[in-house]
Amino acid sequence: MKKGLLTMAGVLLTVSLVSAGTTVPVLAEEETTLVYGSGDYTRINPAMDEHGEINILIFNGLTAHDGENQVVPGLAESWDFDDETNTYTFHMAEDAKWQDGEPVTAEDVKFTIEAIMDPENGSENAPNYEDVEEINVIDDHTVAFKLEDKNVAFLDYMTMAVLPKHLLEGEDMQTSDFFRNPVGTGPYKIESWDEGQAITLVKNEDYFKGEPSIDKIVFKIVPDDNAKALQLKSGELDLALLTPKDAAAFADDDAYTCYDMKTSDYRGIMFNFGNEYWQKNRDLIPAVCYGLDRQAIIDAVILGQGMPAYGPLQRNIYNYEDVEHYDYNPEKAKEILEAAGCEMGDDGFYYRDGEKVGFVISVSAGDQVRIDMAQIAAQELKEIGMDVSVEIP
């Protein structure tokens, strides 16, 4: 059976952040430490990797997001836009410093974005900057980006962490040792990294936006969702992002605070078009889409805390609501399969050109929400005659 490349079953999520304990007054000289249940890291490389919770504590972008997800100043105190030339000009804070004491300059910004745009570096973030025509350093604290056309998302893209040119110039942007001991501009810096166990951050007392109030943050590596809930209950963690099912156990306990956060995080089955099976059978993908009861998955796995997804921008201001939907319709799914020449076999599965129609959903161990969604999706697709199974490497 051929493998598909998974992420999950077409739903938007609400997540639950659970904090242990209440605020307790402490003497000023006592060190404050927060222990957070984190996924594992092999490197901290915000320019090349698309995701990483720890990035925002160590680095800054030209812009940032506030608590309402609105764009606010970061390393840039202000910016202008020239409508005629499609040029953004950013005016940077002059007191920002790298954690080794070197000043942050516009050259660092130019270096970072050019490194992301360079196809030789293989950055996952490169598509965000495809319309950048020129990057011009005007002076040490002013940098301009000329775009091919209007791009309403560009200020969001400039939340990208800026990297130090003086430490990375000439280095391999994928393999440099820098990404195991990064130097940033942010409110925290790395104190130690115990591989597979914990990454400990200490506050940057010279942070240009002001000294943080928490002295130390420990990213304790807990890759399994169920283990996060258990360690939060035992007191080993102070803060953790939990599945809705796990968070429900803390909701009525006064010793914990639960924050339910509406997100644009989504799960969907992603098809591996590098695989010969999907190159031959891509016309069957609409049947997969019609065969998934997303609402049933939401209700069963995340206790109704989400909504059926029809695209990745659904909760974004750039969303287009009239895009084509593939709402649950098992009969339509079967019609598509049969119109494509699939015939039902005696075993209850469709066959095409003598080969059973089906695939494997591959999902990482430890993420219970993804695993549960994958298993339900596989069962729903079996019910329309596709032989789908779940693999947990």
Percentages helix, strand, coil for the chain (3-state, rounded to 5) are: 25, 30, 45
User: If we measure between CA atoms, which residue out of 107, 116, 99, 98 comes closest to residue 157?
Assistant: 116
For the segment 79-103, what is each residue's pLDDT rounded down to a tens digit? 999 999 999 999 999 999 999 999 9
Model confidence band, residue 365 (pLDDT cutoffs 50, 70, 90): confident
Task: Work out the average pLDDT over 319-342.
Answer: 94
Q: Residue 69 falls within a domain, yes or no?
A: yes
Query: Quick count: other Cβ atoms within 10 Å of Cβ 1?
Result: 13
For the segment 147-165, what is each residue's pLDDT rounded down to a tens digit? 999 998 999 999 999 999 9
Q: How many domains does the chain have?
A: 2
> In terms of domains, do 47 and 173 share one?
yes
pLDDT surpassing 80 at residue 295: yes
> In terms of domains, do 174 and 269 share one?
no
Higher pLDDT pick, 224 / 317 = 224
pLDDT surpassing 70 at residue 6: no
For the segment 14-48, what is each residue's pLDDT rounded down to a tens digit? 666 788 754 333 344 678 999 999 999 999 999 99
pLDDT computed for residue 21 by the predictor: 55
**Looking at 153, 180, 207, which one is the last position of a domain?**
180
CA-to-CA separations, 160 to 41, 47, 65, 173, in angstroms, rounded: 19, 7, 11, 15
> In terms of domains, do 9 and 92 share one?
no
Task: Work out the average pLDDT over 63-87.
Answer: 95
Task: Work out the average pLDDT over 352-377.
Answer: 94
Domain hosting 300: range is 3-13+263-391
Task: Please provide the average confidence, as pLDDT, over all residues in the chain.
Answer: 91
Helix, strand or coil, per DSSP, at residue 117? helix
Task: Work out the average pLDDT over 120-138.
Answer: 97
Q: Residue 26 falls within a domain, yes or no?
A: no
Task: Work out the average pLDDT over 177-189.
Answer: 98
Of the listed ranges 55-69, 248-262, 273-287, the least confidently predicted one is 248-262
> In terms of domains, do 71 and 167 share one?
yes
- Report the CATH number that the domain containing residue 342 is assigned in CATH: 3.10.105.10
> In terms of domains, do 9 and 69 share one?
no
Helix, strand or coil, per DSSP, at residue 216? strand
> In terms of domains, do 290 and 369 share one?
yes
Higher pLDDT pick, 107 / 265 = 107
> In terms of domains, do 49 and 7 share one?
no
Enter the tokens of residue 124: 């996952």
pLDDT computed for residue 27 by the predictor: 42
Query: 122-154: b or e for each residue (b if 16 or more CB lie within 10 Å)?
Result: ebebbebbebbeebebeeebbbbbbbeeebeeb
For the segment 209-218, what is each residue's pLDDT rounded down to a tens digit? 999 999 999 9
User: If we measure between CA atoms, which residue out of 19, 20, 23 comes closest to residue 213?
Assistant: 23
Tell me the whole-structure pTM to 2 decimals: 0.80
Q: Residue 198 falls within a domain, yes or no?
A: no
> In terms of domains, do 277 and 159 share one?
no
Enter the tokens of residue 351: 């066959």
Model confidence band, residue 4 (pLDDT cutoffs 50, 70, 90): very low
Q: Residue 276 falls within a domain, yes or no?
A: yes
> In terms of domains, do 281 and 176 share one?
no
**Looking at 180, 211, 230, which one is the last position of a domain?**
180
- Report the CATH number that the domain containing residue 133 is assigned in CATH: 3.90.76.10
Q: Residue 220 falls within a domain, yes or no?
A: no
pLDDT computed for residue 316 by the predictor: 78
Q: Residue 249 falls within a domain, yes or no?
A: no
Q: Residue 119 falls within a domain, yes or no?
A: yes
**Looking at 180, 203, 220, which one is the last position of a domain?**
180
pLDDT computed for residue 22 by the predictor: 40
> In terms of domains, do 58 and 124 share one?
yes
> In terms of domains, do 170 and 113 share one?
yes
> In terms of domains, do 7 and 64 share one?
no
β-bridge partners, 320: none
Contacts of 303 (CB under 8 A, 6+ apart): 244, 245, 248
Q: Residue 35 falls within a domain, yes or no?
A: no
pLDDT surpassing 80 at residue 292: yes
pLDDT computed for residue 3 by the predictor: 33
